Structure 1
Amino acid sequence: MSHTEKIVEQAMQIFIKQGIKAVRMDDIARQMGISKRTLYELFTDKETLLYMAVERYFERCDERRTAMCADARNVLEAIFIGLSDVMAQSETTDRIMGNLRRFYPAVYGRMLREGAEKNRRGIREKLEQGIADGFFVPDFNLDLAITMLYHTASALVARRDLLLPEGMSDRKAFIQVMTTFFRGIATAKGLELIDRYKDRLESAEELP
């Protein structure tokens, strides 16, 4: 890992722990034991470093999910493992994106655009693999399904403008909405696995 990458990695941890708005470049330089001049020579301004640090946070999320799914026996299992981690990280992710939207809208807009493109590609790959493996029916509009799944999942994770029924947790709502979506495009073969993984998510058991 290069010197710049180490700074980005450490800055990511500082922003997550102490808050994006509260942390100044002076604070980062002091906590890392480097001069503020060096920090500005490498990153120009706080927004540049902030973008790279948040980008690294999402890269870490992707790396963790890839590792978690390495032994998945099929794409449906991988989907539900990924959903479980999305739920586990939703509070941190929501806090980061909420602070960006409020205090650094330019960085927020860039992360949103780039994240949407990347996530949509990932959703497409999994849906296409599910069709090829016989878990999903082939006769649905893939682009519409990707849009619906991406925006629904984003709204649930962000928990904005979402009125949940009394007594229903965010986690339960997420599981129910996501599994309802996948059941809607599933074959008989897929339904059996979806119901199995849904039950394990709801009981918070580790997927096999």
Structure 2
Amino acid sequence: MKIIVYCGASTGNETVFNDNAIELGKWIAENNHALVYGGGNVGLMGTIANTVLENSGEVIGVMPKFLADREISHPGLTELVIVDNMSERKNKILSLGDVCVALPGGPGTLEEIAEVISWSRIGQNDRPCILYNKSGYYDLLAGFFDNMVDKGFLTADDRERIAFVDSIEQIESVITNYRPAEIRKY
């Protein structure tokens, strides 16, 4: 299985963020999954890629040329795909992976996981969308999605598919029990 991981190009200011990236990376490698991610060698992106590689796993990075030109691409990946722009990057990453997981990150990470969640509701993404929330980083976002349900902008069924988990075992459970959303009708 190919696990897409969206995460920060920085490590944040709490060691738990880095620890979670290491834990997820080890799980990916030890279970013979592959990592598909943004191709960076910095921040949590670098941590998870290095962890998978150090544990004899496969890592596929996808990076736009302008970022690769800034020398932030990881030099030791199994495969690095260079694309023209960020939109191409996101589409390519999604086409390569089977599951979408978000570790902590900034606006780019949030935008990427929110986009694939949104695409699930309209039939453009049939993959599980999981926010690895062991650190509590995504608690406010979970509350925001709950508020969307309360205010009538998100169905309870669609909300249930947005998985906020705090363990590797829960990630495995979401993957095993996932059922794609019915295409939304207007």
TM-score of the aligned structures, taking structure 2 as reference length:
0.27
| Structure number having the greater strand percentage | 2
| Structure number having the greater helix percentage | 1
Greater C-alpha radius of gyration: 1
TM-score of the aligned structures, taking structure 1 as reference length:
0.25
